[in-house]
A and B are shown apart, each in its own frame.
Chain A
Amino acid sequence: MGRLTEAAAAGSGSRAAGWAGSPPTLLPLSPTSPRCAATMASSDEDGTNGGASEAGEDREAPGERRRLGVLATAWLTFYDIAMTAGWLVLAIAMVRFYMEKGTHRGLYKSIQKTLKFFQTFALLEIVHCLIGIVPTSVIVTGVQVSSRIFMVWLITHSIKPIQNEESVVLFLVAWTVTEITRYSFYTFSLLDHLPYFIKWASPTMPECCYRRYNFFIILYPVGVAGELLTIYAALPHVKKTGMFSIRLPNKYNVSFDYYYFLLITMASYIPLFPQLYFHMLRQRRKVLHGEVIVEKDD
C-alpha cells in the first residue's frame, strides 16, 4: 500500500499488542526539529511489564493535550522532577558503592531504602491515570507499577538470601537508567509548553527522545534478564521455607503456593516480553524515522 497520508495514519491509530494509546499524530519530521516533542510524546504507546519500563507511558502532545489545570501541571512537574532526582541519587549511590567497595555484595542493602521509597512512590502514577491528568490507561500503568512493586517488595525485600546476586544489580542498573531517561523526558515535555519557559530547554528535548527510543533496545532485555534470573535464584529458598503460602485444610477452603506462583510469573514473561519489545521497536521506527507502519486493526 506504500506510504499513507497523515490523515489516514492519524485515523488508523496503533493497536499493537492490544495496548491502547492515543492515536499517533504522525509526521515525517527529523528528530532535531523542535516539534519533535509533539510527535514523540503523542506517538508514545503504553507497554511493559517487568523489565525496564522502557516502553513507558503515553503522554499527549502539547498541542493536542486537553487543558490541564495549573495545579495539575505544577504537581506533575514536581513529581517528574522529584522522581528524576530520586533515581539519579540512586544511580550515584550505586556507582559510589561500587567504586568504594569494588564489589556488588552489600550494594542492594545500601540502597534499598531509597529504592523502596521511590519505586513505591510511583504508585501515584496509577492515581494520575485514574483522575485523568495523565492520559494513559489505568490498567497498563497498574500492570507496570505492580510488576515493579512485586520485584522490590515480594522478591528482593522478602527473600534475603538473593540480595547479593549479580542479577539484582543487572535489573537495578536497567531500571535506574530507564527511569532517569523517562522522568527527565516527561519533565522536559511538561516544561516545554509552559509559555514562559526558558528556551534552552527545547534543544534538549530531541536528545531525550533519542535516548528514550534507543536505550530501551538494550535496557529492556537487560532488565528482563535481571528480573528473571533473580526470581529463578529465589525459587529454592521459597520452596524450602514455604513462604507466602497457605495450605489445606483451612476455614476458607483455599490454598496458595508461592513457589508455583513464581513459576507461572516467570512463564508469563514469554508471551509478554516479545510483544512489548517489538511494539517499542515499531514506535521507534515511527518516531525516529517517520515511517508509517500500517498496523492490523484489532
Chain B
Amino acid sequence: MKHYEILDAKTREKLCFLDKVEPHATIAEIKNLFTKTHPQWYPARQSLRLDPKGKSLKDEDVLQKLPVGTTATLYFRDLGAQISWVTVFLTEYAGPLFIYLLFYFRVPFIYGHKYDFTSSRHTVVHLACICHSFHYIKRLLETLFVHRFSHGTMPLRNIFKNCTYYWGFAAWMAYYINHPLYTPPTYGAQQVKLALAIFVICQLGNFSIHMALRDLRPAGSKTRKIPYPTKNPFTWLFLLVSCPNYTYEVGSWIGFAIMTQCLPVALFSLVGFTQMTIWAKGKHRSYLKEFRDYPPLRMPIIPFLL
C-alpha cells in the first residue's frame, strides 16, 4: 500500500493526499480520485507526472511500476477545458458540407439578387459540388464508424481554430466555384475527366488506408503496430510511405483543384499539404523511435522525396 500526494507542478502547492492506494491501481483511477476532491478538474484535463517538467503519465500506467518511494509525489498540470475529438471532427466537417451547399444553391445575399437560387450552366460546377459533398460526408462517416482515436480529448480552443480553417476555406472556395462568372477549365472536358479520375482514385485510396489502420487496432485498445500493405492494392502505398492516408488526401485535393481550375482550391491544397507533411514527419519519427525493424524504404508522405 502506498501513499500518494499530488502537488501543483507550478506552485508546488499540496492539492491532494491519497493514502492507502492499491498498488495495482492505474493513473486513471488516481485521476478519478483526484476529481472527487477537485471536481472542476475532470480526468481528461489532468496531466499527472513524476517530474514537474517531465512527460505526462499515461492513464494505463500501473502505479506499482512507477519508480517512486513509499510516498510518491505526483505533479499536476491543468490542460485546460477539453473537448472530445469526435465532437471536434463532426463540427469541423459538417460546416464545409453545409456551407458549400449554401453557395451552390446561390442562397440570397451571396451573389447579386438576380442570381438568387439560380443554377450554374457548367457541368463541372455540379460535379464539383458532388465531389466536395461526398468528401465531407465520407469524413463524417469515418469519424463515426471507422476511426479509433488514441486520445479522447483535445484542448477546447482547438475547435475554434480548426473550424475557422475548414469553414473559412470552404466558403472561400465555394464562392468562386459557384460564382455566376465562374470560368470552366481551359482544357475542357478532358481536364475535368482526368482530374475527376485522380479525385476518385485518391478518395478510394484514402478510405482503404483508414480501414487498414482501423484493422490494426482492436476495438477499445490503444495499441500501436507498424502498418503493412494488405490485399487491397490501394494499401500497397504503405511500401513507400508511412502515412499514405495523407498522400491520398493531398492527391484528392490536387485533383479537385485541377478539376475546378480555381486558385483558392490550389492554395487550400498547399496549406493542407504543409500541415499534413508536418504530421507525417512526426508520425514517421515516432514509428522509427518505437520500432527497431521499421522498413527503411519508407518516407513520411511522398515516396522517395519527403
Contacts and interface: CB of A to CB of B under 8 A. Distances in A.
Contacts of A64: none
Interface residues on A, range: 10 to 19
A252 B262 CA distance: 5
B53 A254 contact: no
A252 B181 contact: no
A252 B176 CA distance: 9
Contacts of B106: none
Interface centre among B10, B11, B12, B52 (most CB of A within 10 A): B10
A11 B183 contact: no
A4 B129 CA distance: 58
Interface residues on B, range: 10 to 19
Interface string B257-270: 00011111000000
B177 interface: yes
B287 interface: no
Interface string B161-188: 0000000000000001101011100100
Contacts of B262: 252-254
A105 B216 CA distance: 72
B182 A253 contact: yes
A254 B10 contact: no
Nearest to B260: A253
A253 B179 contact: yes
A100 interface: no
Contact of B182 (A11, A249, A297): A249
Nearest to B155: A298
The secondary-structure label for the interface of chain A is: loop
A12 interface: yes
A255 B173 CA distance: 11
Given A11-B52, A11-B53, A248-B181, A253 B176 contact: yes
A251 interface: yes
Interface centre among A11, A12, A253, A255 (most CB of B within 10 A): A253
Contact of B261 (A248, A253, A255): A253
A7 B176 CA distance: 55
A99 interface: no
Contacts of A297: 10, 77
B208 to A, nearest CB: 32
Contacts of A8: 10, 12
Contact of A253 (B10, B52, B183): B183
A255 B183 contact: no
A270 interface: no
A44 B304 CA distance: 42
Interface in A190-247: none
B226 to A, nearest CB: 33
Interface string B237-276: 0000000000000000000000011111000000000000
Nearest to B78: A297
Contacts of A131: none
B271 to A, nearest CB: 15
A253 B11 contact: no
A252 B261 contact: yes
A248 B177 CA distance: 12
Contacts of A253: 176-177, 179, 182-183, 260-264
Contact of B11 (A1, A250, A252, A254): A1
Given A11-B52, A11-B53, A251 B10 contact: no
Contacts of B176: 248, 253-255
Nearest to B13: A1
Nearest to A294: B10
A249 B183 contact: yes
Contacts of B260: 253
Interface centre among A1, A251, A254 (most CB of B within 10 A): A254
A255 B77 CA distance: 47
A264 to B, nearest CB: 13
A251 B181 CA distance: 11
Contacts of B77: 297
B17 to A, nearest CB: 21
Nearest to B179: A248
Interface string A182-193: 000000000000
B87 to A, nearest CB: 22
A254 B264 CA distance: 7
A198 B63 CA distance: 59
A297 to B, nearest CB: 7
A248 B182 CA distance: 8
Contacts of B261: 251-253
Nearest to B176: A253
A251 B260 CA distance: 10
Interface string A15-40: 00000000000000000000000000
A250 B176 CA distance: 11
A251 B179 contact: no
Interface string A241-285: 000000011111111000000000000000000000000000000
User: Top 7 closest A-B pairs, CB basis?
Assistant: A254-B263, A249-B181, A253-B262, A252-B263, A248-B181, A253-B176, A249-B183
23 contacts: A8-B10, A11-B53, A12-B10, A248-B176, A248-B181, A249-B182, A251-B183, A251-B261, A252-B261, A252-B263, A253-B176, A253-B179, A253-B182, A253-B183, A253-B260, A253-B262, A253-B264, A254-B262, A254-B263, A254-B264, A255-B176, A294-B10, A297-B10
Given A254-B262, A297-B77, 5 more contacts: A249-B181, A249-B183, A251-B186, A251-B261, A254-B263
